[in-house]
Structure 1
Amino acid sequence: MRTKSQYPINLKIILICFFFIFLVFLILRSSFSSPQHNTSLKSASRPVNSTKNSYDSTDCSTVSLTPTCNKIPPSLAHALVHYATLNITPQQTFKEISVSLRVLDKKSPCNFLVFGLGHDSLMWTALNHGGRTVFLEEDKSWIEQIKKKFPTLESYHVTYDTLVTQADELMEIGMREECKVVQDPRFSKCKLALKGLPSEMYDIDWDLIMVDAPTGYFDGAPGRMNAIYTAGLMARNREEGETDVFVHDVDRVVEDKFSKSFLCEGYLQEQEGRIRHFTIPSHRTRLGRPFCP
């Protein structure tokens, strides 16, 4: 999720243009859509604060016949300024980001869970404006650093007790029968299931899950074995509907093998560069559905 390489000039221009295009889209959609558009989330989502004043309102109108206008949503405004002045590039490329953007365009505002907190976190929050975007991060000091700069981002610390060198052993464990049982990860007997997340994370039906952490590029890193398996289990265990799951860095062995095995090639929708997109349906609405199609 983090990198210290410098922005190429053309990529920086593309990202700025990208956000301005998205801004225009938001304004046009709000102008032509019904005022009764329902933006409520599932009951587990954070409630919306109904109090507002003249400075916080996203609408403006006058007594005259001038058209109603809309202010830029704060999350989008902050993202525009942040990325226009940032000297560090997000890890995902423009084409890779576009894969998730197409899904967010259809589903937002929604519940979006991201494994990893990085330089692209403000962008994901802005693209899911009005929804709930939560970040799970392994590095406590990094969380504190980001919170000081962007206190509105919702993030939680997660501890991993695995190593990349254990990937082959964990793959064998994942093939056992107890790991094919669809249930709440907290109660799973599978060693791959993450049980130490904040309790609320298990109670929400996530519409999108992005696995871009924890660290996995050297042998002593925790690796993404548990994160990938748990994302797939959460998707299958939702009450109804389907979850779009994205895994980044699939050019690496762990991300490649674990995403194919536990998110299933039969659920694979698209791969662009180093990112894969899977759409996993609820397994609770159809008894007897196999773990992989």
Structure 2
Amino acid sequence: MRPKTQSSLNIKLIILGFLLAFFLLLVLRTSFSSSPHEQNPNTPIPLSVHDQEEPSGALASSSNPTESPTTCPPSSSSTDDHHQSCTKIPPNLVDTLIHYVTTNITPQQTLREISVTSQVLLNKSPCKFLVFGLGRDSPMWSSLNFGGRTLFLEEDKSWIEQVKQQFPYLDSYHVEYDSKVHQANDLMNIGQEEEDCKEVVDPRSSKCQLALKGMPREIYETEWDLIMVDAPTGYHGDAPGRMTAIYTAGLMARNREVGETHVFVHDVDRTVEDRFSMAFLCEGYMRTQEGRIRHFTIPSHRSSLPSTPFCP
């Protein structure tokens, strides 16, 4: 997940372009959503976000992450002043734009790899986005999901503190892993042979050795729209590896009440990411692969027939 220092002007430009396009989309949405009420004074005005019921499964946050980016708070100021304040670029987006314009450190994913996830985000946001890994691309993902909930899971406490010093608005949790890359073959056999690993349940209740059980409660109790597995470290034998992260991402996707979850796995050029994503996210659910990233769309199994197979 952590990037290497590089001077890739193209990646910088595409990130900047994505963020600017996303902000322009927010402005246009705000303009279109407000125009019907301006044209017809008899049209009922929607309740403010403070009067609406909070969506079920949403996580609490001081910045109200479930609030739509096109919804503006009540204001006693004039209509023109209020509209201007609603379309003003938020401070977090300003910080992100400045960061990527001025830094020589760019995300480790390539342009095309970033585009796979960003296209889904542009269609789904604001949404709930869970990312295994905290890195230099985290401000980008958080900004592209502006108004939604983006949460990062990181294995290294000191790295969390380092990133948070520069980007205090990023939400992250420390997560511990008890697996090792050199155990991957044994874990693969367990996952494929034991019936407990085919049972679709809350990971905390799973008897499968691959299920992560030590994460904060709200991770399990949220129905994530997107999950990206780009951590933990997996490039040497004693590293934690992504075996349990990949399996748990797939289990959470299947265990949601209804709908589907978009799951992305990075570094599929490596053996663990390749084999485990195909085995537990399932080749039949794969939508695309671009470079080292794979995109899976996994439907809810709880709303399906009991006989629905773990993989199609």
TM-score w.r.t. structure 1 length? Answer: 0.90
Extract unaligned runs of 5+ from structure 1: 51-56
Per-residue deviation, 1:244: 0.5
Q: Does 1:292 align with 2:306?
A: no
| CA spacing shift, 1:18–1:60, aligned 2, 3 Å | farther
Q: Does 1:139 align with 2:156?
A: yes
Structure 1 residues 15-57: Cα deviation after superposition (integer angstroms, max 9, x where no partner) = 323322222222122211358599864333225768xxxxxx7
Contact 2:131 2:151 in 1 (8 A): yes
| CA spacing shift, 1:195–1:9, aligned 2, 3 Å | same
| CA spacing shift, 1:61–1:82, aligned 2, 3 Å | farther
C-alpha separation in 1, matches of 2:241 and 2:232: 6
| CA spacing shift, 1:49–1:248, aligned 2, 3 Å | closer
Per-residue deviation, 1:110: 1.1
| CA spacing shift, 1:275–1:60, aligned 2, 3 Å | farther
2:107 is matched with 90
Q: Does 1:108 align with 2:125?
A: yes
Contact 1:41 1:109 in 2 (8 A): no
Q: Of residues 45, 52, 60 in structure 2, which corresponds to 1:46?
A: 60
Q: Does 1:29 align with 2:43?
A: no
Contact 1:270 1:277 in 2 (8 A): yes
1:269 is matched with 287
C-alpha separation in 1, matches of 2:139 and 2:18: 14
C-alpha separation in 2, matches of 1:253 and 1:64: 58
RMSD: 2.4
Per-residue deviation, 1:200: 1.2
| CA spacing shift, 1:64–1:87, aligned 2, 3 Å | same
| CA spacing shift, 1:64–1:285, aligned 2, 3 Å | closer
Per-residue deviation, 1:203: 0.6
Contact 1:19 1:80 in 2 (8 A): yes
| CA spacing shift, 1:217–1:61, aligned 2, 3 Å | farther
1:54 is matched with none
2:90 is matched with 73
| CA spacing shift, 1:64–1:30, aligned 2, 3 Å | closer
Per-residue deviation, 1:161: 1.1
SS of the residue corresponding to residue 291 of structure 1 reads: coil
1:226 is matched with 244
Extract unaligned runs of 5+ from structure 2: 38-45, 65-71
TM-score w.r.t. structure 2 length? Answer: 0.85
Count residues in correspondence.
287
Contact 1:159 1:196 in 2 (8 A): yes
Per-residue deviation, 1:151: 1.6
Contact 1:249 1:274 in 2 (8 A): yes
